[in-house]
Amino acid sequence: MQKNTRIINIILCFAVALAVTLVDQVTKLLVVSNMDIGDSIDVIKGVFRITYITNSGSAFGMLSGARWVFMILSTIGILAICVYVAFFSASLNKLTFVSFGMVVGGGVGNMIDRIFNGETLFNGVVVDFIDFCAFPGLWSWIFNAADSFVCIGVALLAISIIKDEIKNIRQKNSNKEESKE
């Protein structure tokens, strides 16, 4: 039963990664097909808008001067997660597999842009369009679905790890109580 559950979880992880990549690429295609760079559409005036920009760096425009370093590190990270999930993930729970899928899918979505969304191969820019403008002094970044999925995936992974650690501590405490009796 353990082996079947693990295989199902691996399939779940890669299905989530595929779904995230598709959502990311479809939303970017919709923006690119219907807007010009710099265009902005108010969705909720003063709070949220769709603003089409491009980004040559990492999430939120950081590291634009080190794009090759970031591309190499992103590729290594994506591959490391895939290898870990495929070969070393026997004791992980479903939430961990889902979070890994979100991170991989988001990474792949942005990597597709970096490889193909430019005048030459591997010289592309990432399409960003999600613009929360309610707090301009606090938050000024424009991002995309892939960035969102990576951040949510990392947060879910942290929750999963904390949840597992609490479970382990409770189990150890329970075993100590049983051994005292």
> What is the pLDDT averaged over residues 133-137?
85
Q: Is 24 a catalytic residue?
A: no
pLDDT for 135: 85
Between the two ends of the chain, the Cα-to-Cα distance in Å is 33
pLDDT for 63: 64
Q: Say which of 24, 113, 128, 131 is annotated catalytic.
A: 128
pLDDT(147) > 90? yes
pLDDT in tens, 151-176: 999 999 999 999 989 988 998 888 87
> What is the pLDDT averaged over residues 113-138?
90
Q: Which of 2-6, 114-118, 138-142 is predicted least confidently?
A: 2-6
| Structure-block tokens of residue 113 | 């842009």
Question: Quick check: 38 and 142 in contact, CB under 8 A?
Answer: no
Q: Say which of 24, 113, 131, 147 is annotated catalytic.
A: 147
Highest mean pLDDT among 37-41, 122-126, 133-137, 166-170: 37-41
| Structure-block tokens of residue 45 | 């005036």
pLDDT(143) > 80? yes
The pLDDT > 90 percentage for the chain reads 62
pLDDT for 181: 66
Q: Is 36 a catalytic residue?
A: no
| Structure-block tokens of residue 64 | 């634009």
Q: Which of 54-68, 70-84, 135-149 is predicted least confidently?
A: 54-68
Secondary element (H or E) of residue 127: strand 126-132
